[in-house]
Amino acid sequence: MRGPHNIWRLIRTGATLERTGAMKVVLDAFEAPRSIRFLAHALGKPFMWLGYKGDPSMPPATRALTALGPAYIKFGQVLSTRPDVVGQELADHLRVLQDKLPPFPREEAMAEVERELERPLSEMFSEFSEPIAAASIAQVHKARLVETGEEVAVKVLRPGIERAFRRDIDAFYFAAGVIEKLIPGTRRLRPIDVITHFDGVVQGELDLRLESAAASEFAANTKDDEGFRLPPVMWAYSARRVMTLGWVDGVPLGDNAALDAAGHDRRALGERVLTLFLRHALRDGYFHADMHQGNMKVAPDGDIVAYDFGIMGHIDEYTRRVYAEILYGFIRRDYRRVAEVHFEAGYVPADRDVDEFARALRAVGEPIFGMDAAHISMGRLLSYLFEVTEKFGMQTRTELILLQRTMVVVEGVARSLDPHINIWQVARPVVEDYIKQSIGPRAVAADLLKTARVLARFGPRLPGMVEAALIAQANPARDDPAPGRRSGVWPALAGLAVGATLVLLAGNF
């Protein structure tokens, strides 16, 4: 599937950008140098007639991405939250990609609901509206349950979306492979691994049973978060291609005029969006990874209500601690410690100079502090960070891709609510609280207890493990130059000793 036939797809991508006029818009937005502009137009114009026409009523960039398919639309959704990167005009044009795409017919959605839930629609819903929101992968209908009369939101996947998305991803895989072969310098970024990670994440959106489970877990984690709530999942009316949630009234988070008219404090909302994301990522290690304006409302009581849980992020506890220490170091402007954390975590090769890396990080961090956030060019900042990572041989870490991507989206959402918000000032109390809870004597004691509990489960097997280790020590292989080492006897015995100690400690907690 990922062979040269994908060249045709990539050619049509460039041709579509050229035909719709999006090529110039995108190049202007990113302030591309003259050489890149010449190359892009030289490759695009000869094949322009092969490009998709798209909807002429849409702005060029939106028109092109919509015509190209769901994976491209997802990319546009991310850019729509970053007016400081692509400019306010392009960001406004791309925002329609979030929930205002052309819907498919109501009748097709109703038929899909009946097939998936294996019941006549009239037995389940007394009302079933025309589509009220249409996104790249699914659309939503407002309905009313026959059994209780409760209003609900019914999400239905687009017909044939699985096949369409696979076509786009296959082309991305092919492009990533070609880039790695032709431009060796990009290999440290592991473009194929990046696409693999993105592929796995979005595949979760194509099975609404997984999204329902994600919503349920997320709700359990955040049930005590003030000013934040989720609509309940209606499990009896959900399946692989259909998901039903409780209905929520509210103002879309991207409609500033409506938020002002309703009397909501946009500055407070922006700060809360940032705080909630950091709290969920650090405290729970499980966060909403698609937090653009189209996936959040503000309820009449002021609560932020999130929905669309197809993309959720997960990071393990160790990575959360590393991430928190890096953030905390930047907040305190302790660039030496930030550099040390990168080396300790293996993010930077050990043969590089820590002091030099700390100075490079200072050049990244210092412009942020004491400056109005509206005057910081995130595009230039990201460009400089790329140069730093290339210089020090850092590799792309796939487990942090979704976290980093969501951080970009959330900051963009917050800035759309309050252009002067400073992410570092808002982040500080959340990160400091996490540091207190996860790093220090109390955290060490908790870690020991967890380790002891795990090792305690192996208690009945300890005698057999010791006996096997002693037998292996007494009968080493004849060709083993270092008896006992090949079988790992001494590390095993050391581990058993530590395990026994921890089991004793566990009994004292």
DSSP state of 103: P
Q: Rounded CA gap, 397 and 188, in Å?
A: 10
Element (DSSP H or E) covering residue 287: strand 286-288
290 is catalytic: yes
- Type of residue found at 233: V
Give the tokens for residue 480.
Answer: 């083993």
What angle do helix axes 70-79 and 161-182 make, rounded to 10 degrees? 70
Q: Rounded CA gap, 361 and 408, in Å?
A: 19
C-alpha to C-alpha distances, 279 to 154, 160, 358, 433, nearest whole angstrom:
29, 37, 27, 9
Pairing mode, strands 286-288 and 312-314: antiparallel
Closest CA to 389 of 196, 195, 198, 185: 185
Q: Rounded CA gap, 147 and 436, in Å?
A: 49
- Type of residue found at 201: V
C-alpha to C-alpha distances, 127 to 146, 152, 154, 225, 336, nearest whole angstrom:
8, 10, 11, 33, 61
* Contact of 94 with 60, CB cutoff 8 Å: no
Q: Rounded CA gap, 182 and 180, in Å?
A: 6
The catalytic residue among 168, 170, 225, 290 is 290
- Half-sphere exposure in the Cβ direction for 121 (13 Å, CA): 17
DSSP 339-380: HHHHHHTTSS-TTS-HHHHHHHHHHHHGGGTTS-GGG--HHH
Q: Rounded CA gap, 187 and 193, in Å?
A: 10
What CA dihedral angle connects 171, 291, 223 and 448, to 10 degrees? 60
> Looking at the annotation, which residues are catalytic?
290
